[in-house]
Amino acid sequence: MNKYELAVVVSAKIEEEERNATVEKCKGYIVRYGGTVTDVEDGGKKKLAYEIQDMKEAFYYFIHFEADSTAPIEIENHVRLMEDVIRYLCVRQDEA
């Protein structure tokens, strides 16, 4: 099992309940593909470096999980299609 971090940038135009549902859906994809969520870090609302879909701010979430090497590809394929996710990035964390 490898350690990964999924960074998700969620639209600021939606309510808190919808943001929480979006994060839960991402966690569900991780579990569906054999991963184990270890931590969810709420990065809060931040100003974007450039405008995306007429938005200047968005909410950042960092989901830490452990999974096999094939899981991130499957997870990204589903997160890519989520309407409220405007950007995402899944990276493997090195063992320190």
CB 12 within 8 Å of CB 60: no
Predicted local distance difference test score (pLDDT) of residue 94: 81
Q: What's this model's pTM, rounded to 2 decimal places?
A: 0.91
Predicted local distance difference test score (pLDDT) of residue 96: 61
Alpha carbons 95 and 88: distance in angstroms, whole number: 22
Alpha carbons 26 and 62: distance in angstroms, whole number: 11
Give the homologous superfamily in CATH for domain 2-92.
Ribosomal protein S6/Translation elongation factor EF1B (3.30.70.60)
Sites in the chain below the pLDDT cut of 50: none
- Model pLDDT for residues 10-32, shown as the tens digit of each residue: 999 999 999 999 999 999 999 99
Query: What are the sequence ranges of the domains in the chain?
Result: 2-92
Alpha carbons 76 and 88: distance in angstroms, whole number: 8
